[in-house]
Structure 1
Amino acid sequence: MSKFLATFSQTYLSKVRAKSFMISTLIIVLLIFIGANFDKIIGIFDSSEELTTIKVEGNEAVAAQFETVFNALETDISVSENDGELGEGEALLTIEETEPMTFTIEADQEIPGDQMSDIEMALGEVQRSATIQSLNLSPEEAQRLNATPDITYDIASAAGDPEEEEATASEGDGMPDINILNMVVFYVTVIVMFFIIINYASQIGTEVAMEKTSRVIEMIVSSVPPVTHLLAKITAMISVSLTQLAIFLIAIFAAIQLFDFSDLISEFGLEANDQTATMIVYSFIYLILGLILYLSISAMLGSFISRMEDLQQALLPVTMFSLIGFYIAIFNLWGSADNLLVRISSYFPLFTPFVMPLRAMNEETGQMPLLIGVAILLVSIALAIWLAASVYRNSVLSTSNGIFKNLKRVRKE
């Protein structure tokens, strides 16, 4: 145990004290705090000031109608008659003509885009009402102007199944109803896992390969058993990645405590639903298990080589499978989150950490598939560590050049 802890502490401390670790961690923490203040930063560069009052001049009937429609939008802007003075935060709306309607808006500063959209929406409603009155349309005819078409979808694959036809028709545009907060959790989980895997898989492979190519391993194995040494390396690199992840989580928690997210949450519609808690828990579990699995495989692949030139070739499967899993998860988010490809790939161990959080977003998935995914990863991690230890023990002193030569020799032993 003392030999394990000695190797573990030496590897762990050397990594967390490295400038690359500190710089990359600091950059991500800064990005977290910048993202937490994104709306305030945008406000600094936005020279426009919000309007507080719109003064209306012109046809009284049209002005009264505009005030009624605009107040129904529940904005922070008040509407009043023009008193001849235009102060700060005020705009003048002049009704030039009524047949056809023309308007002029005057202000001493730029009008924010969201407020301009509200004004244009209200004026459009006023013009629509005036058009209805000028054409002498009945209430029924006026209502038909806003009616949406009744569309029935007759899909060949749904023929003979009325319930499936009804479900297909109700989808309309085919886009899934995705909770924005759950989507943010999914994106953060998958992206963070992908980049940590790519970063630390290369590091742990380099650690193992460098010891073999420099023949330092001959001195190490004389005092530390090869399997103990490898397991200490794997555990240390996993701990380093989890340390960096913990710093990110602490930074997010600190940002939540220090800054007011109410405006940002309301603007982007970040509201939790019944699936959010499940989504967060399983995303965190799959993130941790995914890191452990890929780093264990990276250590095993690194032990195959005897030259640093072969390192990238050895780690190619890790890069390839993590990239495929990443794209399967990302590209199926806006399609069907529970199609055949997603269901099958979610049970493939190397894709499970990426794809299962996507299935966790779907309320129809249930707990059983998610728990099966966790079990698959646990078994895969145990198998990967056992294979890594076996390969490392049999190839630690090998001087054969080439991955396949080492693989054949390990199989024979």
Structure 2
Amino acid sequence: MNNGFATVVGFTVKNKLRGKAFLITTIIIAVIISIGINLPYIISQFSGEGKATSIGYVDKTQDKTRSDFYTGSRIVGLLNQYYKAQEKPEIEIQSFADAGTADANEKELKQAVADGTIKGYIEFAEGTNGSFPSVTYKSEALMDVKTSQSLQTALLWVKQQGVLQDSGLSQAQKDLLLAPIQLDTVQISATEGAGSIGSGKTEGEQGMDMALVYVIIFMLFMAIMISGQMIASEITAEKSSRVMEILITSVSPLKAMFGKITGMFLIVLTQLAVYVIVIVVNMTMPHNASKLSEFDIKLSNIDPVLLCYAILFFLTGYFLFSTMFAAVGSIVSRTEDLGQAVMPITMLSLAGFYICMFGGLSNPNSMLIKVSSFIPFFSPYAMVVRLGLSDPPIWQVWLSVAILIITISFTGWLSAKIYRTGVLMYGKKPSMKELRKAMKAYKI
């Protein structure tokens, strides 16, 4: 009995690992992941990102004779002071001599943009009653958001300097006023019986929890999509080629189904392991490691309890969906009809994924996420989000697990009945009446 199951598992694994399509697909996806992780760095190397953006300014003659604080020359001087204080200056301002008229100045600046000397230029319109002048940044870019936001931040600092200069405050008072405030966040358990994954977590530990939630959700979604399609297509292909008739003469249909599910699970784990190794190798490269250090992301901050729960929901979610894919694959005789047949199961998995990605990560305590964490088709996603980003009562966690296990037992039994019947039904897809009648004739 056990030998038959092990034979199906071994055959499924060896058949897939030896296939060129599997190897080529794995390599291509690994390359895409590598490119995606390093894409910002690659773009920065070719686009000159990291270098200061040169923008122009006309140093008007009349500004030099004015005594008020908010003159163009004084503002530009303070802007240069602001950017030079940065470790990597974002903007460098080049002054141009006054050509005498506004049109002549505009023409000179546009020519500098055309020559590539500067990326754009700023103009000041005098404010009324000594107020801060309005500033216009002009460039060829349709939406130069990065430069405009940087200028806006710098100009706000310049305005603050002007206000402080007229305030009569001492330098120590000015430094105290401008000193940043440090705010630390710590997770707590406010409800008795909660704290299922611990409390008192620092920002670094909370960040690592969020990263783990992202990884588990994506891995579960990929595992379901990849293995589900492979399970259904393998069964349909074997059925359409009549290999299934030979297979069930030596192995019972129940062993064949669960053996194939387990074999595909091992295949998916192999693929995911390759992808995880590729991600870790790329993330530890110097240009990426420096970015991670800024967010205080360390593997030592992973919560082992959260990791165990995440693995539990990953496994239960996988086997729930894989049994349904196997059942659907067994009643389809042609691979051309498979896509339409598995669409409802695919949509269930997509719904759980989107609920968490677009609703749960921003608000893990919403009613939608709480309800979804008890719906077995969504709970592998939703409860992982609640565990990682909030603090659900432990009884709710294990109630969700219990509902999942009961659902897996029922869908496994039902899928086995459908599989036992469907693999030997050829021609058109059987109706529900025909399928129900045939299922009654067979015992698992």
TM-score by length of 2: 0.64
- Which of 361, 379, 391 is residue 352 of structure 1 equivalent to? 379
Equivalent residue for 2:319? 292
- What residue identity is the alignment partner of 1:37? N
More deviation, 307-316/4-13: 307-316
More deviation, 300-309/320-329: 300-309
The residue matched to 1:37 in structure 2 has which SS? helix
The answer to whether the aligner puts 1:410 opposite 2:439 as a matched pair is: yes
- What residue identity is the alignment partner of 2:438? R
Distance 2:11 2:300 in 1: 45
Equivalent residue for 1:337? 364
* Residues 118 and 270 of structure 1, relative CA distance in 2, 3 Å threshold: same
What displacement does 1:410 show? Answer: 0.8
The answer to whether the aligner puts 1:200 opposite 2:232 as a matched pair is: no
The answer to whether the aligner puts 1:27 opposite 2:28 as a matched pair is: yes
Equivalent residue for 1:377? 404
> Structure 1, residues 112-140: CA drift from partner, whole Å, max 9, x if none?
9978865663444224443676xx6787x
> Structure 1, residues 283-312: CA drift from partner, whole Å, max 9, x if none?
344233322221122112222344555534
The residue matched to 1:301 in structure 2 has which SS? helix
The answer to whether the aligner puts 1:9 opposite 2:10 as a matched pair is: yes
- What residue identity is the alignment partner of 2:48? S
* Residues 275 and 372 of structure 1, relative CA distance in 2, 3 Å threshold: farther
> Are 1:36 and 1:259, in contact at CA under 8 Å, matched by a contact in 2?
no
> Are 2:30 and 2:278, in contact at CA under 8 Å, matched by a contact in 1?
yes
For 1:249-260, list aligned pairs within 5 A: 249-260=276-287
- What residue identity is the alignment partner of 2:158? V
More deviation, 274-283/239-248: 274-283
Equivalent residue for 1:157? none
The answer to whether the aligner puts 1:130 opposite 2:159 as a matched pair is: no
- What residue identity is the alignment partner of 1:15? K
Distance 1:94 1:348 in 2: 57
Equivalent residue for 1:70? 82
Distance 1:307 1:121 in 2: 62
More deviation, 286-295/270-279: 270-279
For 1:157-236, list aligned pairs within 5 A: 182-236=209-263
> Are 2:213 and 2:385, in contact at CA under 8 Å, matched by a contact in 1?
yes
What displacement does 1:21 show? Answer: 1.8
What displacement does 1:11 show? Answer: 1.6
> Are 1:212 and 1:396, in contact at CA under 8 Å, matched by a contact in 2?
yes
* Residues 114 and 75 of structure 1, relative CA distance in 2, 3 Å threshold: farther
Distance 2:78 2:155 in 1: 7
Distance 1:63 1:390 in 2: 78
Distance 2:145 2:308 in 1: 38
Distance 2:155 2:239 in 1: 75
For 1:263-274, list aligned pairs within 5 A: 263-265=290-292, 269=295, 271=297
Q: Which runs of 5+ in 2 are unaligned?
A: 54-58, 95-120, 138-143, 178-204
Distance 1:71 1:49 in 2: 13
RMSD, aligned α-carbons: 4.7
Distance 1:333 1:284 in 2: 19
> Are 1:310 and 1:403, in contact at CA under 8 Å, matched by a contact in 2?
no
Distance 1:271 1:251 in 2: 18
What displacement does 1:406 show? Answer: 1.8
What displacement does 1:244 show? Answer: 0.8
Distance 2:76 2:418 in 1: 83
Distance 2:286 2:321 in 1: 36
How many pairs were matched up?
361
Distance 1:65 1:395 in 2: 79
Q: Which runs of 5+ in 1 are unaligned?
A: 83-92, 106-111, 147-177
- Which of 329, 332, 350 is residue 323 of structure 1 equivalent to? 350
Distance 1:21 1:233 in 2: 16
The residue matched to 2:331 in structure 1 has which SS? coil
> Are 1:304 and 1:391, in contact at CA under 8 Å, matched by a contact in 2?
yes
> Are 2:122 and 2:135, in contact at CA under 8 Å, matched by a contact in 1?
yes
What displacement does 1:250 show? Answer: 1.8
* Residues 28 and 375 of structure 1, relative CA distance in 2, 3 Å threshold: farther
> Structure 1, residues 298-336: CA drift from partner, whole Å, max 9, x if none?
112222344555534442331121122122222313653
* Residues 258 and 330 of structure 1, relative CA distance in 2, 3 Å threshold: closer
Distance 2:225 2:263 in 1: 17
> Are 1:65 and 1:126, in contact at CA under 8 Å, matched by a contact in 2?
no
Equivalent residue for 1:159? none
> Are 1:304 and 1:392, in contact at CA under 8 Å, matched by a contact in 2?
yes
What displacement does 1:25 show? Answer: 1.5
> Structure 1, residues 46-81: CA drift from partner, whole Å, max 9, x if none?
2356359xxxx9979959993897389653559xxx
> Are 2:374 and 2:403, in contact at CA under 8 Å, matched by a contact in 1?
yes
The answer to whether the aligner puts 1:245 opposite 2:272 as a matched pair is: yes
Distance 1:64 1:223 in 2: 84
Equivalent residue for 1:169? none
Equivalent residue for 1:121? 153
> Structure 1, residues 2-52: CA drift from partner, whole Å, max 9, x if none?
333332222212212223322222122223322443342122112356359
What displacement does 1:399 show? Answer: 4.3
Q: Return structure 1 stretches of 4+ with deviation > 6 angstroms.
A: 57-61, 93-105, 112-116, 136-139, 272-275
